[in-house]
Amino acid sequence: MRTALVVPAAGRGDRLGASRPKALVPLAGEPLLVHALRRATASDVVDVVVVVAPLGACDEVRSLLSPVVPDVLVVPGGAERQDSVRAGLRALPADVDVVLVHDAARCLTPPDVFTSVVAAVRAGATGVVPVVPVSDTVKRVADRTVLETLDRSELVAVQTPQGFAADVLRAVHEAAVPGAAATDDAGMLEALGHPVRTVPGDERAFKVTRPLDLLLAQALLSSEAP
């Protein structure tokens, strides 16, 4: 029985405003994707790695990653994140029983988050998400008018890696409508009534989305340097 890591890395990164796909944007001299995989594989809980690359960049991604993950499988991504994850799942060997899905953009996620997500799935959970508290007040808005203020004590922000029983995740993705825009995989399980458990996430697992996030990542890396 083996644990696989599927890394959707095929996003364009429009909100970052970079001229390259986001996963290939350099951070301290190395692409975000390389940082993400170094931390993921340092957890020692991953046996198989599938990276879903931007269209036309599979060869580049394979050669970038071969020093970090020599046996990496690289497949081309799709139009939406969900399409990319499904392409990654289809590339998995049959003997994988636990799957982690991890955004390349959460490039500074510490190894121990991977360890605790896998432990929770191996302890019997069908789906597991790392979460952190929400610090802002969150409101539902329509037509620039507030409809409702949500109770912050019940809210969490959800990160990756998200962990799943492989057979359930495969089935959920194969049943989904291609091109639909699910923003995470656990949400697809929830929609079909599967329970999803939480484990503590880590502030360093934030997603590099906008230019300010890249500055924060640079600052964190400099503070880690020996």
Residue ranges binding ligand C5P (CB under 6 A): 8-11, 22-23, 52, 77-81, 84, 103-105, 207, 209
Question: Which of residues 148 and 178 has its CB atom nearest to ligand C5P in the complex?
Answer: 178
CA–CA separation, 31 vs 124, rounded Å?
A: 35
- Cβ 203 to ligand C5P shortest distance, Å: 18
Of 36 and 125, CB closest to ligand C5P: 36
Q: CA 91, 94, 100, 104: dihedral to nearest 10 degrees?
A: -20
Q: Which residue is nearest to ligand C5P (CB)?
A: 11
Give the DSSP per-residue string, 23-47: GGSEETTEEHHHHHHHHHHHTS--S
Comparing CB distances to ligand C5P, the nearer of 119 and 187 is 187
Could you tell me which residues are beta bridge partners of residue 26?
A: 31
Q: Where are the alpha helices (DSSP H) in 24-183?
A: 32-42, 58-65, 81-90, 111-122, 166-175
- C-beta of 180: minimal distance to ligand C5P in Å? 12
Nearer to ligand C5P, 51 or 189 (CB): 51
Kindly state the smallest distance separating residue 132's Cβ from ligand C5P, in Å.
Answer: 16
Nearest distance from residue 21's CB to ligand C5P, in Å?
7
CB of 207 to ligand C5P, least distance (A): 6
Contact criterion met (CB below 8 Å) for 84 and 52: yes
Residue 26 or 148: the one with the smaller Cβ distance to ligand C5P is 26
Which residues lie below 8 Å from residue 29, measured CB to CB, with a gap of 6+?
none
β-strands 156-158, 127-133: how paired?
A: antiparallel
Cα torsion angle, 157, 163, 168, 170, sign: positive
Tokens of 126: 């069908």
Q: Could you tell me the smallest distance in angstroms from the CB atom of residue 88 to ligand C5P?
A: 8
Give 101 or 118: the residue with its C-beta nearer to ligand C5P.
101
